[in-house]
Structure 1
Amino acid sequence: MKVISELLSHATRDGDGVNISRVADFRGRMFDPFLMIDELKSDEESDFIGGFPPHPHRGIETFTYIIKGGFEHKDQMGNRKVISGGDVQWMSTGFGVIHSEMPVADNEGMHGFQIWVNMAAADKLRPARYQDSVATGLPVLENTSGASLKVLAGNWVLADQSAASPVGPLASDAAVADIRLSAGGTARIERTQYEKLFVYIHTGSINGYSAGQALLLDPQQAIEMHTDVDSGALIFSGTPLREPVAHMGPFVMNTQEELHQAVRDYQAGRFGAIDL
């Protein structure tokens, strides 16, 4: 695979003091249509116990994937669900949502992601949508070379096997998969139908790159992965929007005036409220 550029995640905090590692592109120059990848990975309860109390969003899709641990999700649409290890949750926020994600107490620690996908200008004010994989599960593809690929969003092929996620479709043809390689494992994946392709390594090391690195790839070349240790990475692909991005906190629109209107609508209660 051809690596075009590299980006290292940086430590930050969000919600009620939750420690996360973040890769962000709010200028739309590197990962369009993806805006942000937040990784929460800790065995220390103090790093995540505060969770994410009620807060709003507009103009984006939030995609949550939990590897271990869990969060209880609530939103103003009446959805209330525990998202735990192996599951995903998708919210196409459109006009607006208010939601909370609070950790479920256990002894596993926490490892998960929240991914932001930008929405096209024409869709940013449509009604909100919600889905998760709790009832359906997610398909897993395997090869004979020590690789398995969990299909989180979109359509994927591995070793002449194909599968589609039951969740979505996400905006901008966004697709996400979690690939795992055992020590000595290899994998080859082609995504030439997409303009944007990158990986984020979350465990071990792959092709000499370490956990916490995001690698922007040439989509016209196959992804060829190998490792000497048990490793994992998220693979992202999508179609760039190439639209102006105006970002302020939980809102992503196309102009500053649209951001100000989002704030006014939220303050006026037009997003609704969570029934606690």
Structure 2
Amino acid sequence: MNAIAPAARITRTVHGMPASDGAGVKLTRVIGSPQLPDLDPFLLLDEFGTDRPEDYLAGFPDHPHRGFETVTYMLDGRMRHKDNHGNEGVLVPGSVQWMTAGRGLVHSEMPEQEAGRMRGFQLWVNLPARDKMTAPRYQEFAPDCIPQVTPAPGVSVKVIAGQVEGVTGPIVQPATAPLYLDIALEPGASWECALPDGHNVFAYAYEGGVVLGEGDDARPLPVQALAVLGGGSRLSLRADETGARLILVAGRPLREPVARHGPFVMNTREELMQAFVDFREGRF
């Protein structure tokens, strides 16, 4: 008889804190805060969401990056991105951009609207030392390129990266082998999700309420809270009476030293200082 795989449980809960970035865009910082500085390989998670144009119109003017990846997932609104390599596009609701900054680029992200709701997530994912100076590249996918599956009654899952029920998301990153799911649960709906072995995993509830874990380990995850998960290779989820939406994200840890300042993430202080020199001298 095959043994049942152990169930994951919440090992820590973190609430986001108000922050601002770019030219004053208001957001909620969840990873990258004093409560949770990082979760290898994840360096930062910001949720942005507002109906007030004054909270987002200033956008994110030109700024540099080196040594990591940014993942932008739009839920509502439109954002135009440009970089100094000639890349340009518009992110619409439901689209995803996975940008590998590599050895460096300068880009901007500016609202393509003057009214209405702007909502989504930006996640920073570290790169291993061997890939930090790779050429910049983009993986960008429109909403209709993100597969959606219904693995259980009342459960809908958008598979951005990784695999669910034999359906594979479009994002590919061999270094960290990410899982990135956007999960919608109708009131009272439940589902058990397989988790990748050896990965660091978190869930972030952004609508409604959800209970994670099973038996005595079952714990509620309130809205705008992040759960660090551990202890097993499967996760039980159950929505409360309001239903729930959450992202579930996992990545293979790199277990490498991190030298980080602002928009640059390297492995040593010397590499970090070189990034500033290269940027000032126009080598991005």
Same fold (TM over 0.5): yes
Task: Give the structure 2 partner of residue 185 of structure 1.
Answer: 189
Aligned residues: 267
Q: Is the 8 A contact 2:95 2:143 kept in 1?
A: no
Structure 2: which amino acid aligns with 1:252?
V
Over aligned residue pairs, what C-alpha RMSD do you find?
A: 1.9
Q: 1:245, 1:140 → 2: CA distance?
A: 35
SS of the aligned residue for 1:172 comes to: coil
Does the aligned pair in 2 maintain the 1:26–1:35 contact within 8 Å?
no
Superposed, 1:98-247 pairs within 5 Å as 98-105=106-113, 107-134=115-142, 137-153=145-161, 155-157=162-164, 161-169=165-173, 171-207=175-211, 208-218=220-230, 220-227=232-239, 228-247=241-260
Amino acid at match of 2:232: Q
- For 2:4, the equivalent position in structure 1 comes to none
Measured in 1, the distance between the counterparts of 2:235 and 2:46 equals 23
**Aligned match of 1:18:** 25
- Preserved contact between residue 61 and residue 170 of structure 1 (Cα < 8 Å): no
Q: CA deviation at 1:168?
A: 2.8
| Unpaired stretches in structure 2, ≥5 consecutive residues | 1-7, 212-219
Structure 1 residues 105 and 99: CA distance shift in structure 2, 3 A: same
Partner of 1:274: none
Q: Is the 8 A contact 1:69 1:106 kept in 2?
A: no
Distance, in Å, in 2 between the alignment partners of 1:250 and 1:54 is 12
2:65 aligned to which of 57, 76, 82:
57
Amino acid at match of 2:43: L
Deviation by residue 1:68-124 (Cα, 9 ceiling, x = unmatched): 111001112211110010000011111001110001116431111110000001110
User: Which shifted more, 141-150 or 165-174?
Assistant: 165-174
Q: Which moved more, 1:195-204 or 1:257-266?
A: 195-204
Contact 2:53 2:114 in 1 (8 A): no
Partner of 2:10: 3
Task: State the Cα deviation string for residues 186-224 of structure 1 (Å, max 9, x = none).
Answer: 111011424211111111111122121111111514211
TM-aligned CA distance change 1:114 to 1:135, over 3 Å: closer
SS in 1 for 2:275: helix
Is the 2:75–2:93 Cα contact (8 Å) retained in structure 1? yes
Tell me the distance in 2 between the aligned counterparts of 1:78 and 1:171. 26
Q: Distance in 2 between matches of 1:71 and 1:127?
A: 24
Q: Report the Cα distance in structure 1 between the residues aligned to 2:267 and 2:223, rounded to whole angstroms.
A: 33
Gaps of 5+ in 1: 272-276
Paired AA for residue 141 in structure 1 = V
Question: Given the superposition, is the C-alpha separation of residues 130 and 30 from structure 1 closer, same or farther in structure 2, using an over 3 Å criterion?
Answer: closer
TM-score normalised according to structure 1 size: 0.91
Q: CA contact under 8 A between 1:57 and 1:93: conserved in structure 2?
A: yes
Q: Percent identity?
A: 37
Q: Distance in 2 between matches of 1:5 and 1:197?
A: 11
| Deviations 1:161-191 (CA, angstroms, capped at 9, x unpaired) | 2222223326411221111111121111011
Residue 131 of structure 1 aligns to which amino acid in structure 2? Q
TM-score (norm 2): 0.89
Deviation of 1:230 after TM superposition, in Å, equals: 2.6
**1:135 Cα deviation from its structure 2 partner:** 8.0
Greater Cα offset, 255-264 or 20-29: 20-29
Q: Indicate how the Cα distance of structure 1 residues 219 and 195 shifts in structure 2: closer, same or farther if over 3 A, else same.
A: farther
Give distance in 1, aligned partners of 2:150 and 2:138: 29
CA distance in 1, matches of 2:91, 2:174: 18
Answer yes or no: is the 8 Å Cα contact 2:70–2:124 preserved in 1: yes
Q: Cα offset for 1:256?
A: 1.4
Runs of 4+ in 1 over 4 A off after TM superposition: 25-30
